[in-house]
Structure 1
Amino acid sequence: MEKRKLEIMKAEIKIENLKCGGCAATIKKGILSITGVNEINIDVEKSLVLVTSEKENLEEIKLKLSKLGYPEVGDKNTVLHKAKSYVSCAVGRIDS
């Protein structure tokens, strides 16, 4: 039986509205819920999300970040995104 090499995707995404560890906790929980994602690191000071996934799902990850209120730098950062990020931040602080 032939073993297939597992392709690993690594991505670095610079996002908007990242303020603190509460935000990071919400992002981590949300992104880890995506099938295939096995590691996530967040640099709050640089507003970076570093993701390692077993499949090519970068667009799904970016969409999830946007829905949580943390769109990628260069995408629209609406008042709704900013409001969602404040709620995500508060939820992350409570959960962690």
Structure 2
Amino acid sequence: MKTTLEIQNLKCGGCAHTITTKLNELSEVSDVFVDNENFSVTFTYTTEPVLLEAKNVLVKLGYPEVGDKNAITTKAKSFVSCAIGRINN
């Protein structure tokens, strides 16, 4: 199945690199594409539990779905994820 999630705190290519890397580490997720202009991530997954796992990964990185809680600590996580993505890119 394929889904597109609109996410918060997405800023740049560093963010996209981190998101792509971490989602691709999930064995049942593939074809990850991050669209910085539309603040979204699209990917293919196999089952609903995998989708929930992917969403949890995004939250842990600091990129919750639009409409979900976006506390200052979550925003801070996104800055760290962004910096790591820039360094590793």
- Whether TM exceeds 0.5 here: the answer is yes
Runs of 4+ displaced beyond 3 Å:
none
Unaligned runs of 5+ in 2: none
Cα displacement (A) at 1:54: 3.3
> Are 1:43 and 2:18 an aligned pair?
no
Q: Give the Å deviation of 1:68.
A: 0.2
RMSD between aligned residues: 0.8
Choose 1 or 2 for highest CA Rg: 1
For the residue of structure 2 that corresponds to 1:61, the secondary structure is helix
The 2-side partners of 1:73 and 1:55 are apart by 22
Question: Secondary structure of 1:49's partner?
Answer: strand
Which amino acid in 2 is paired with 1:55?
Answer: T
Is 1:26–2:42 an aligned residue pair? no
Q: Which residue of 2 aligns with 1:6?
A: none
5+ residue gaps in structure 1?
1-8
- The one-letter code of the counterpart of 2:74 is H
Q: Deviations over 1:16-74 (max 9, x none)?
A: 00000000000001101112112100100110100112333211111100000000001
Q: Secondary structure at the match of 1:38?
A: strand
1:54 is matched with 46
Aligned partners of 1:54 and 1:29: how far apart in 2?
A: 18
TM-score, L = length of structure 2: 0.94
Taking only the aligned residue pairs, the percentage that are identical comes to 51
Correspondent of 2:68 among 65, 75, 82? 75
Q: Where is the helix percentage greater, Structure 1 or Structure 2?
A: 2
Quick one: distance in 2 between partners of 1:62 and 1:55?
Answer: 13
TM-score, structure 1 as length reference: 0.88
C-alpha separation in 2, matches of 1:63 and 1:11: 15
- Equivalent position amino acid for 1:34 in 2: L
